[in-house]
């Protein structure tokens, strides 16, 4: 509906200026305050002619700001009033803080409806209940890879200490290769506890990933060493953000490097010695 000034977004009830009947004339201009007005349609009006409410569409039609009666009016006919209702089918824009939880349908607020900036709106996500949807933690249960430069393929277990709890569906493991339950951006935080033999001055523990379920690349490394006599134990950690776009092809594993005889990864079934934590941060 067109108006002089700002267009209303909901019903706008107006009484048109008085219209004098012209003998033999059927068409008349609709005005409010001396300005032409254009109703939404004939159905958005109430027209009284000589004390009788007229039926829209058959008794009169509207085109732009012109109302045309089905028959020419004659002297003695009186246009009692014409009320324009505005767009009564539009509920308008709710006022601030008026939309309650009960008015929202189940699953009505989707990512597509949020818009590019909505996820940063503090009011929308203050106290957001869902939070992280996946978190998992694994460790070595026993000393492993003594004097061996190879993939760590055995002695893996998910943390089972009292008080520990993962979130969502965790990783799956097969011979030291870990797979993800769904695509997403994952934080991998891993720790190595290495017992280095005497004189083994530089040892590495590598995180390797594959994007094609075949070739692996080193993406993070922890290091330890022992320049003295006798065994020495040291711990180190590293992190990596993994963009998992395909759960069939994106996987990871760990490998030891430069392990002299007697150098090993420390493991325990009761506490975290050598292990890692994986947290899904969001969609890929």
Please determine, for residue 9, whether its predicted confidence score (pLDDT) is greater than 50: no
Question: Tell me, what's the pLDDT at 111?
Answer: 62
Whether the Cβ atoms of residue 265 and residue 194 lie closer than 8 Å to each other: yes
Token pair 């594959």 is found at 210
Question: Tell me, what's the pLDDT at 211?
Answer: 98
Question: Tell me, what's the pLDDT at 107?
Answer: 73
Question: Tell me, what's the pLDDT at 115?
Answer: 60
- Measured between alpha carbons, how far is 46 from 60 in angstroms, rounded to an integer? 11
Alpha-carbon torsion, ordered 123, 125, 129, 133, to 10 deg: 180
Model pTM?
0.58
pLDDT, the chain, mean: 88
Question: Tell me, what's the pLDDT at 108?
Answer: 73
* Number of other residues whose CB lies within 10 A of the CB of residue 39: 24
Q: Could you give the percent of the chain with pLDDT greater than 70? A: 86
User: Which range among 14-18, 40-44, 123-127 shows the weakest confidence by mean pLDDT?
Assistant: 123-127
Question: Tell me, what's the pLDDT at 200?
Answer: 86
Question: Tell me, what's the pLDDT at 251?
Answer: 98
> Who has greater pLDDT, 85 or 126?
85
Q: What are phi and psi for residue 122, nearest 5 degrees? A: -60, -35
- Characterize the bridge pairing of strands 156-158 and 66-73: unpaired
pLDDT band at 198; cut points 50, 70, 90:
confident
User: Which range among 56-65, 193-202, 220-229 shows the weakest confidence by mean pLDDT?
Assistant: 220-229
Whether the Cβ atoms of residue 181 and residue 247 lie closer than 8 Å to each other: yes
Question: Tell me, what's the pLDDT at 114?
Answer: 63
Give CATH 2.60.120.40 domain extents, the chain.
Answer: 135-282
Q: Tell me the CATH number for domain 135-282.
A: 2.60.120.40
Please determine, for residue 276, whether its predicted confidence score (pLDDT) is greater than 60: yes
Task: Calculate mean pLDDT across residues 110-129.
Answer: 55
């Amino acid at each position: 509906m067109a108006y002089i000034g700002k267009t209303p977004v909901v019903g706008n009830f107006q009484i048109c200026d008085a219209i004098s009947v012209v003998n033999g004339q059927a068409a008349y201009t609709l005005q409010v305050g001396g300005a032409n007005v254009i109703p939404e349609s004939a159905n958005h009006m109430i027209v009284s002619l000589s004390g009788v409410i007229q039926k829209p569409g058959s008794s009169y039609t509207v085109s732009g700001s012109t109302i045309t009666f089905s028959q020419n009016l004659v002297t003695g006919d009186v246009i009692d009033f014409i009320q324009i209702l505005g767009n009564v089918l539009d509920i308008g824009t709710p006022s601030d803080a008026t939309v309650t939880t009960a008015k929202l349908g189940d699953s009505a607020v989707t990512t597509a409806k949020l818009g590019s900036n909505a996820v940063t709106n503090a009011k929308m996500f203050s106290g957001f209940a869902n939070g992280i949807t996946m978190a998992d933690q694994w460790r070595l249960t026993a000393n492993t890879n003594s004097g061996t430069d190879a993939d760590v393929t055995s002695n893996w277990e998910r943390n089972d200490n009292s008080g520990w709890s993962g979130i969502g569906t965790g990783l799956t493991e097969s011979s030291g290769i870990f797979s993800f339950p769904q695509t997403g951006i994952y934080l991998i935080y891993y720790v190595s506890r290495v017992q280095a033999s005497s004189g083994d001055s530089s040892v590495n523990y590598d995180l390797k990933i594959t994007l094609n379920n075949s070739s692996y690349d080193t993406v993070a490394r922890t290091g330890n060493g022992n320049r003295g006599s006798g065994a020495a134990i040291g711990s180190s950690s590293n992190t990596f953000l993994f963009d998992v776009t395909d759960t069939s092809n994106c996987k990871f594993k760990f490998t030891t490097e430069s392990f002299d005889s007697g150098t090993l990864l420390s493991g325990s079934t009761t506490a975290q010695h050598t292990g890692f934590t994986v947290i899904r941060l969001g969609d890929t």
